[in-house]
Amino acid sequence: MPGEENDLFSKVIEFHGHSCPGVAIGIRAAEIASDKLISSRAVDEELLAIVENDSCSVDAIQVITGCTLGKGNLIFKDYGKNVYTFINRGTGKTLRLSLNKAIDEIDPEFANVRTKAFSGEAKLEDEMEFEKRKDAILEKILIMPEDELFKIEYVDIEIPGKAQIFRSVKCSKCGELVAEHRARVENSDFVCIPCFEDYSRN
């Protein structure tokens, strides 16, 4: 990946910690969304991302789009699906990307190679074969036609409101601070979710 693209790839890898097919999926999703929604990297909440998994891909999306949990413009839905929805708040356009190609479809032998490499009894050649295949899949993802990699569609959804800042209250049981909107009420006192769940189980 030459020039600016190589620099971007390096930033993603530096943030994530290693290169892998999941990172490549996130890079492609973020680049497609940025291009089709005509959006630069979000400084505030100009761009919103809704991700339906917590895989490696999400780290790439954070680096490239500027959508992060801390800013409130990255919303995580724990569905375990390779689906990424991006919203340009300025234009109201919403783009949904759903992965078409599973890793094992790109390389049907990869699952077996991965299992052997992480078996605890892998030989050097097993580990080298895993790395070789992993890198080959990554490269294929990075150059695959976008409409082959993803189902790409503009959708009409209710746009979530911007992130809000809530005051903190003290849990009446553990004494730790908790955002007011996440606190529960027990016997007219605020309690944090872990303390409330402990109480509910008893």
Please state, as a whole number, how many other Cβ atoms lie within 10 Å of the Cβ of residue 32. Answer: 19
Question: Mean per-residue pLDDT for 115-120?
Answer: 90
Give phi and psi for 176, each to the nearest 5: -85, 150
| pLDDT exceeds cutoff 60 at 9 | yes
Q: Are 88 and 47 in contact (CB under 8 A)?
A: yes
pLDDT (tens digit per residue) in 35-75: 999 988 889 999 999 999 999 999 999 999 999 999 999 99
pLDDT (tens digit per residue) in 144-178: 999 999 999 999 999 999 888 899 999 999 999 99
Give 156: exposed, middle or buried? Use CB within 10 Å, 0-12, 13-18, 19+: exposed
